[in-house]
Amino acid sequence: MAGRRIEIRGTVQGVGFRPWVYRIAQRMGVAGRVRNAPAGVTIEAFASGDALDLFIAQLQATTPSAARVLGLQTTSIPEEQVDGFAIEPSDSLGDKTLSIPPDLATCPDCEAEVLDPNNRRYGYAFTNCTTCGPRFTIATGIPYDRPATTMSRFQMCTQCQREYSDADDRRFHAQPNACPKCGPVLSISALGGTAVPGSDPLAGAVELLKRGAVVAVKGLGGFHLACDATNATAVRLLRERKRRDEKPFGVMVGDLDAALSVAEVTTEEAALLTSPERPIVLVHARQETSLAPEVRPETPLLGLFLPYTPLHHLLLAGVGRPLVMTSANIAEEPICRDNEEARRRLDGIADAILFHDRDIAMRCDDSVVRVIAGTPTLMRRSRGFVPRPFHLAKAVSRPVLACGAHLKNTFCIVFGDTAYFGPHIGDLETVAALDFFEEAIERMQTILAVRPEVIAHDLHPGYWSTQYASAREGAVKVGVQHHHAHVASLMAEHGVEGPVLGVAYDGTGFGEDGTSWGGEFLLCFSDRFERLATFRPVRLAGGDVAMREVWRTAYALLHDAFDGRPPIDSLPLFDSVAPESIRIVSQMIEKELNSPRARGVGRYFDGFGALALNRPESRYEGQVAIAWDHIANDAVLDAYPFALDRGTAPMEVDLRPTVRAAFEDVASGVPPGDVSARFHNTLTDLTAEVVRGLLVELGDLPVALTGGVFQNARLAAGVSNKLSSKIRVLRHGQVPPGDGGIALGQALIAGAILGDNG
């Protein structure tokens, strides 16, 4: 006889890990116990030495589908006389903070039950088991047990209770376990005089969707608005009502085959589509498909996802066609959560609402992922991922709350050596969003059982997140520069301590001098940075207005490149702009009235894109930049000239020669795809050249590519390829490259500035 302690680290709680260990131990005649531990699961096992080796090998060979094992460590312990193998209750204190896992998509076993007419859960929309189902979105407190979830008011029936208590059952300790006899039920409400056909809520919703109606559906983390994605009239109707002119809609398809019929899906993308996190995956749409073109006006990218709750499986199976599934909100407000709220806010938008009576404790939007230059990169990290923690290289001694940025806000809480992102909040521009931000922070503090003593925030005094930070009492406040935070978030993701050479390209971020930065080459440490190079600024006539009316940026670039005499007469772009508007903008720039200087590389994308595509306006954030990327002609390999001004500190990348060369091309009728390719090649070349130049002095530091602009696959891949293989290039994967990832960097920096890091 021998004894071993086996410590397993990773996401192994709330995913059926302990019952799985139990079953293996039973089968192999190993005695002992398993329990949740602070960083995972601890097993104490007793058997012959050989049997223990086999047992450990078995544990390493496979894992339950939703588990993520990060490490397994064994130590010998004195043997004990124990009878059988036991699952011990969690320690009450030590491990409670880690006990809530993210929501998990319906597993194949549950899906099969729901679609099997002979199963007692046939057609039941709330079926789940130990390896699948709602988790984070139903948690109201800790530890993660049924009483601390929104399932607490449903009393399990005898059969469900038996499943729940039987260690050999798939539903052993499945906290949301339910069946049609005892669990939540669906209901449907018609709005605005719609008649719901039949008496069954699900069948009624399916019928309405087939007829082209817009149906709001209560899901896991909030309400969606659904309609038949193959019905152009229905999609147009939804666009009108949602006041969403051109932004692409997410589309849910029944299974992988259906996905392959509407898009080109790589093996890697297929794995993401079918993962337990079930994010929206941005894939290339096929040209000829059943989808209405209104789903994705003018972009080749399609946001595709597969059903992740039994309700979705049933809807998709019922309708038999792809469905638009978009967050139920207006413009950029937070996703709807409560039944009453949905009734109020969705009147006039949806024709009917498919409700259920299980409350959503935490709003959680769908996550969005895209494979960028071979790396799956989260663009929005929310449902399915939150609250899965990140482990940091160094611990902080005081808990930190980082408030994030302004657009695509997420916040982050760090204590010890673990970091927890909150769910995607959205743009902090409405009262509803600010309420959600505050409420989500409160709730995360509750379920993590932590009270932050340090608050990190952006330097921008006008951001609501900054104002929230200043208003919070009883904590040390630390302002963190936006692009330093971008780089630090990437350092944290890779466990790199610095120094690194950060290349942070985005639309805008508050600089230490009070101006807008966004084309930054920064030598970064965790507690400080040095700004080594930036871009020559461009004037934004009217400030934020220029982000929408991108022709203004094009005008400003030409004005600068042609010494105050922009040759607009030979450019079709300006034919569609009122001469009076041009005159005003021209004066604003000349007299420097309400025309702040901005160095964001995103602004150059706007300006060049507007110029070559004849696009005076960007209807949603990044629209012109995205179109500009996709049109690029891969066969064009040459680039435009650019200049580097080494006389300034920091030195400046000067794109005036680039503007002049692009102007020549556009004015002489060169196709926009060629202009786009040359523009991208120029940015790639200059980025690599500046980096190489800086590394000559700095030595071979890791290079961190971050900021929203690096969502551009052409640029991200191009720069990585241009740098020598000796240089370690850090790119985003699990932490979003855009402002949704910034909070982690803020927290890391605040901890380091206060000298708290372990």
Contacting positions for Fe ion (CB under 5 A): 506, 509, 739
Rounded least distance, CB 649 to Fe ion, Å: 23
CA–CA gap between residue 583 and residue 494 (Å, rounded): 50
| Site stretch for Zn ion (CB under 5 A), options 99-107, 204-212, 256-264, 372-380 | 99-107
Helix (H, G, I), strand (E, B), or coil: what is residue 149?
Answer: strand
Eight-state DSSP code of residue 563: T
256: number of Cβ within 10 Å: 13
Tokens 């041009």 locate to 582
Question: Would you say 160 or 730 has its CB closer to Zn ion?
Answer: 160
| Site stretch for Zn ion (CB under 5 A), options 72-80, 104-112, 364-372, 425-433 | 104-112
What's the token pair of residue 369?
Answer: 């992922």
Question: Would you say 248 or 738 has its CB closer to Fe ion?
Answer: 738
Rounded least distance, CB 222 to Zn ion, Å: 22
Determine if 69 is a binding residue for Zn ion (CB under 5 A): no
| Site stretch for Zn ion (CB under 5 A), options 160-168, 266-274, 571-579, 625-633 | 160-168
Select from Zn ion, Fe ion, none the partner in contact with residue 739, using the beta carbon and a kind-dependent cut-off of 5 to 8 Å: Fe ion
Which residue in the set 179, 352, 598, 719 belongs to the binding site for Zn ion (CB under 5 A)? 179
Determine if 110 is a binding residue for Zn ion (CB under 5 A): yes
Which residue in the set 8, 43, 125, 160 belongs to the binding site for Zn ion (CB under 5 A)? 160
Residue count, binding to Zn ion (CB under 5 A): 9
Select from Zn ion, Fe ion, none the partner in contact with residue 182, using the beta carbon and a kind-dependent cut-off of 5 to 8 Å: Zn ion
Determine if 104 is a binding residue for Zn ion (CB under 5 A): no
Rounded least distance, CB 707 to Fe ion, Å: 5
49: number of Cβ within 10 Å: 12
Question: Would you say 114 or 488 has its CB closer to Zn ion?
Answer: 114
Of 575, 586, 601, 423, residue with least CA distance to 517: 601
Question: Would you say 506 or 560 has its CB closer to Fe ion?
Answer: 506
Residue 638 CB-density burial (10 A; 0-12 exposed, 13-18 middle, 19+ buried): exposed
Select from Fe ion, Zn ion, none the partner in contact with residue 179, using the beta carbon and a kind-dependent cut-off of 5 to 8 Å: Zn ion
Contacts of residue 4, defined as CB under 8 A and 6 or more positions apart, other chains included, come to 43, 44, 45, 52, 56, 74, 75, 76, 77
CA–CA gap between residue 74 and residue 591 (Å, rounded): 72
Packing angle between helix 579-590 and helix 551-561, nearest 10 degrees?
50
Rounded least distance, CB 129 to Zn ion, Å: 3
Instruction: Look at strands 31-37 and 85-87 and give their pairing.
Output: parallel
Of 357, 315, 356, 360, residue with least CA distance to 336: 360
Determine if 120 is a binding residue for Zn ion (CB under 5 A): no
What's the token pair of residue 540?
Answer: 């934004």
Contact predicate 192/351, CB 8 Å = yes
Bridge partners, 401 (sequence order): 413, 455
Integer Rg of the chain from CA? 27
Determine if 132 is a binding residue for Zn ion (CB under 5 A): yes
CB-based closest residue to Fe ion: 506
Question: Would you say 359 or 506 has its CB closer to Fe ion?
Answer: 506
Rounded least distance, CB 405 to Fe ion, Å: 6
Question: Would you say 506 or 606 has its CB closer to Fe ion?
Answer: 506
| Site stretch for Zn ion (CB under 5 A), options 101-109, 400-408, 586-594, 695-703 | 101-109
| Site stretch for Zn ion (CB under 5 A), options 52-60, 126-134, 201-209, 349-357 | 126-134
| Site stretch for Zn ion (CB under 5 A), options 177-185, 314-322, 560-568, 710-718 | 177-185
| Site stretch for Zn ion (CB under 5 A), options 58-66, 175-183, 445-453, 699-707 | 175-183
CA–CA gap between residue 747 and residue 737 (Å, rounded): 16
Determine if 129 is a binding residue for Zn ion (CB under 5 A): yes
Select from Zn ion, Fe ion, none the partner in contact with residue 110, using the beta carbon and a kind-dependent cut-off of 5 to 8 Å: Zn ion
Select from Zn ion, Fe ion, none the partner in contact with residue 132, using the beta carbon and a kind-dependent cut-off of 5 to 8 Å: Zn ion
Contact predicate 636/612, CB 8 Å = no
Rounded least distance, CB 594 to Fe ion, Å: 23
Determine if 174 is a binding residue for Zn ion (CB under 5 A): no
| Site stretch for Zn ion (CB under 5 A), options 56-64, 100-108, 328-336, 650-658 | 100-108
The alpha carbon of 132 is separated from its chain's Cα centroid by a whole number of angstroms, namely 21
Determine if 125 is a binding residue for Zn ion (CB under 5 A): no
What are the Cα distances from residue 674, in Å, to 12, 221, 563, 606, 627? 50, 43, 26, 17, 14
Determine if 291 is a binding residue for Zn ion (CB under 5 A): no
Select from Zn ion, Fe ion, none the partner in contact with residue 475, using the beta carbon and a kind-dependent cut-off of 5 to 8 Å: none
CA–CA gap between residue 541 and residue 461 (Å, rounded): 21
- Using H for helix, E for strand and C for coil, what is the string for 265-313? CCHHHHHHHCCCCCCEEEEEECCCCCCCHHHCCCCCEEEEECCCCHHHH
Which residue in the set 181, 211, 583, 597 belongs to the binding site for Zn ion (CB under 5 A)? 181
Question: Would you say 427 or 506 has its CB closer to Fe ion?
Answer: 506
Rounded least distance, CB 423 to Fe ion, Å: 19
Rounded least distance, CB 459 to Fe ion, Å: 12
Contact predicate 160/177, CB 8 Å = yes
Question: Would you say 506 or 652 has its CB closer to Fe ion?
Answer: 506
Determine if 107 is a binding residue for Zn ion (CB under 5 A): yes
Which residue in the set 182, 203, 330, 393 belongs to the binding site for Zn ion (CB under 5 A)? 182
Rounded least distance, CB 157 to Zn ion, Å: 4
Instruction: Look at strands 516-524 and 500-510 and give their pairing.
Output: antiparallel
Question: Would you say 44 or 458 has its CB closer to Fe ion?
Answer: 458
Contact predicate 372/382, CB 8 Å = no
Site for Zn ion in 495-554 (CB under 5 A): none
E-strand stretches of 294-436: 301-305, 323-327, 352-356, 368-372, 375-380, 390-402, 412-421
CA–CA gap between residue 40 and residue 11 (Å, rounded): 7
Which residue in the set 77, 157, 582, 727 belongs to the binding site for Zn ion (CB under 5 A)? 157
CA–CA gap between residue 699 and residue 547 (Å, rounded): 38
Rounded least distance, CB 465 to Fe ion, Å: 13
Sites of contact with Zn ion (CB under 5 A): 107, 110, 129, 132, 157, 160, 179, 181-182
